[in-house]
Amino acid sequence: MLGGRVCAFLKAARCARLALGWNQWQARYICRGTSAFTSPMHYLDGERIEPTNTDAGGHFPILEPATGHKLCIVQESSVQDVHTAVVSAKSAFASWSTAPGAERAQILYKTAQIMRENIEAIAVAEVHDTGKPLWEAKFDVEGCVDTIEYCAGLARMIAGQHIDLGRGNFGYTRREPLGVVGAIGAWNYPFQMAVWKSAPAICCGNTVVYKPSPLTPITTAIMGEVYTEAGLPNGVFNVIQGSGAVGQYLATHPDVAKVTFTGSVPTGTKVMAACAQGIKYVLLELGGKSPLVIFADCQLDNAVKGTMLANFLTQGQVCSNGTRVYVERPIYETFVDKLVERVRAMKLGDPMSEDTTMGAIISGEQADRIMSFIESAKEEGATIATGGERVIPDPALAGGHYITPCVLTDVNDDMRVAREEIFGPVVCVFPFDTESEVIERANDTEYGLAGGVFTRDLTRAHRIAAKLQAGSVYINNYNVYPSELPFGGYKKSGIGRENGILNIDAFTQVKSVYMEMGDVDSPI
């Protein structure tokens, strides 16, 4: 079922509501389809700035996924702009790195408070940028508030160890910040990525230069304004803008100590190579093709709901999605029927509309890519149980990119659709017969970001959790990201972890200090 038309009254009400919240962020909002984000998207030394790059070829238009309308034009950062941002972060590091944890915590708590007061305004900007439904964007921003508060707590927990070395001698370790962190994000969760990367780095005393995806540049500068308003010293968080070349300058800049990157495996490979050149720390959050295993003894309705969460948030453009769903044969047909029924009930439409459950694909190029997977599945003999069509749900959304959520059956493990990351609303459902068979099939992938299992047999659940080659495993749920739980990939899905107490490991280095209490005993 496709979404209906959003009435003019609701649109006007929405515009008025937004204008109130949005003024605070110095952007201008006119109305759906004519919205304009006029403030510069670059953030340096505590304010939005125009980049020095005035090269006519160095700018890119930002198109709203929902409508195809131009939201703004963003000027790409020059090499000089990247350098200036790193210099700003480097000079801010001197005092931020020595600030007491309690002071960092206070600023982060204040950041969370300001963010909480502006969830709606930030979420609306995120919807313009990404095409995801408003309720989902609000949920994302609420999660970001939690992450910032969690990191505020961590700021006071950074500690080393005391080690007794005998004869009165001892050593201790200090956890010291790394320096300037270069952060590079993808387009599916732009605001969340800016938070997940900056808050842990900042709570540990680092400073940050952030480059969002050129498809979604809008909310990162808002992050900068929130930080500044909360009292974060100028230069601790800076934003540059642009494509891969700008990311490459950042990753290779000699004063960047660590790169934290979220994106695809091919780009992650380049970022890791750039970091290798400079012997830099690197954290990579990359793609996935995750399995979700459903046993016949599961609570079926929960398994169907879990499969929805595993596949159709953010139009299916989620790295950890469980896109290979293995269902034990006795319940396979019933499961597919229930899943198809639920997928058909989704409402595809205007992401600003309260009742929309699935919005727009990020770009025409990505929509073409998703459709090419669906076409290849058809050619290879898969059956489309539902969806998989490119549609315009409303004439007002004619320039947007919409694909009906798709369930594929009769999929073979070797088909392209079963092996490659699609990053769209497409789920493959396979039957299986035995536990050992399904584990082997689930692990037969170069990726290892996540996995899931639905069963009432808890012994089996934990056995499977241990055997799945993945950084996150969900038992009887899927795609839940508590701030306390580390998140990251096995195999080609990445290196390092975001979230949890491991944030401290990720953004500090250990110094060992030896203390001699006696005379020096030298044989030479």
How far, in Å, CA of 311 to CA of 288, rounded?
12
Q: How far is the CB of 7 from ligand NAD (least distance, A)?
A: 34
Nearer to ligand NAD, 399 or 486 (CB): 486
CB 351 within 8 A of CB 444: no
Nearer to ligand NAD, 286 or 473 (CB): 286
Q: How far is the CB of 436 from ligand NAD (least distance, A)?
A: 28
Q: How far is the CB of 209 from ligand NAD (least distance, A)?
A: 12
Q: How far is the CB of 524 from ligand NAD (least distance, A)?
A: 49
Q: In the beta sheet, which residues pair with residue 162? A: 172
Nearer to ligand NAD, 372 or 512 (CB): 372
CA distances from 510 to 164, 205, 244 (A): 17, 14, 32
What is the DSSP code (8-state) at residue 392? -
Closest by CA position to 233, among listed 103, 43, 45, 25: 45
Residue type, 97: S
Q: How far is the CB of 270 from ligand NAD (least distance, A)?
A: 4
Strands (E) across 151-289 are located at 162-166, 169-177, 180-184, 207-211, 237-239, 256-262, 281-285
How far, in Å, CA of 369 to CA of 386, rounded?
19
Distance from the first to the final alpha carbon of the chain: 85
How far, in Å, CA of 77 to CA of 211, rounded?
10
CA distances from 490 to 107, 340, 417, 496 (A): 34, 31, 21, 9
How far, in Å, CA of 498 to CA of 258, rounded?
14
How far, in Å, CA of 61 to CA of 363, rounded?
12
How far, in Å, CA of 279 to CA of 265, rounded?
20
Q: How far is the CB of 199 from ligand NAD (least distance, A)?
A: 15
Q: How far is the CB of 441 from ligand NAD (least distance, A)?
A: 21
Nearer to ligand NAD, 213 or 479 (CB): 213
**Which residue has its beta carbon closest to ligand NAD?**
247
Active-site residues, by number, are 285
Residue 486 burial by CB count (10 A; 0-12/13-18/19+): exposed, middle or buried? Answer: middle
Closest by CA position to 238, among listed 41, 35, 414, 2: 41
Q: How far is the CB of 231 from ligand NAD (least distance, A)?
A: 28
Query: Which H/E stretch holds residue 399?
Result: none
Nearer to ligand NAD, 40 or 263 (CB): 263
Residue 103's region, left for phi above 0, alpha for psi from -120 to 50, else beta, is alpha
Nearer to ligand NAD, 259 or 396 (CB): 259
Nearer to ligand NAD, 234 or 363 (CB): 363
Structure tokens at 64: 């709203």
Structure tokens at 45: 């030394």
Closest by CA position to 35, among listed 80, 68, 77: 68
Residues engaged in binding ligand NAD (CB under 6 A): 184-188, 211, 213-214, 243-244, 247-248, 251, 262-264, 267, 270-271, 285-288, 319, 421, 423, 449, 489, 494
Closest by CA position to 477, among listed 289, 310, 323: 310
Nearer to ligand NAD, 217 or 393 (CB): 217
